[in-house]
Amino acid sequence: MSTVNAAFDLRSLPTQPGGRSSPEIAGISSLIVIEAVVFIGMIASYFHLRLQNAEWPPPGVEEPELLLASLNTVLLVLTAVPAVISVRALRGGRAGPARIALPIGVAMLVAFGAIKVYEYWDKAHLALEHAYGSMILLMTGLHLVHVTAVVLKTGVVWVYLRQRRIEPRRAAPLQANALYWYFVILVWLPLYATIYLSPRVLP
* Per-residue pLDDT, 165: 87
pLDDT at 128: 85
Nearest to 87 by CA among 21, 18, 4, 3: 18
Question: CA 17 to CA 169: how far, in whole Å?
Answer: 5
- What is the pLDDT confidence band of residue 170, given thresholds at 50, 70 and 90? confident
**Quick one: which of 64, 5, 18 has its CA closest to 170?**
18
**Surface-to-core class of residue 84, CB atoms within 10 Å of its CB (0-12 exposed, 13-18 middle, 19+ buried):** middle
Confidence bin at 101 (pLDDT 50/70/90) = very high
> What are the structural domain ranges in the chain?
18-201
Give the Cα separation of 59 and 62 in Å (integer): 8
Whether residue 99 is predicted with pLDDT greater than 70 in this model: the reply is yes
Q: Say if residues 54 and 62 touch (Cβ distance below 8 Å).
A: no
Residues 147, 153, 159, 164, CA torsion sign: negative
Total-model pTM: 0.88
CATH fold label, 18-201: Four Helix Bundle (Hemerythrin (Met), subunit A) (1.20.120)
pLDDT at 167: 84
Number of CB atoms found within 10 A of residue 131's CB:
17
For 85-115, letters b (16+ CB in 10 Å) and e give bbbebbeeeebeebbebbeebbebbeebbeb
Confidence (pLDDT) at 181:
98
Side chain identity at residue 67, one-letter code: L
Distances (CA, A) of 192 to 45, 143, 148: 15, 11, 18
Least confident of 14-28, 101-115, 168-182: 14-28
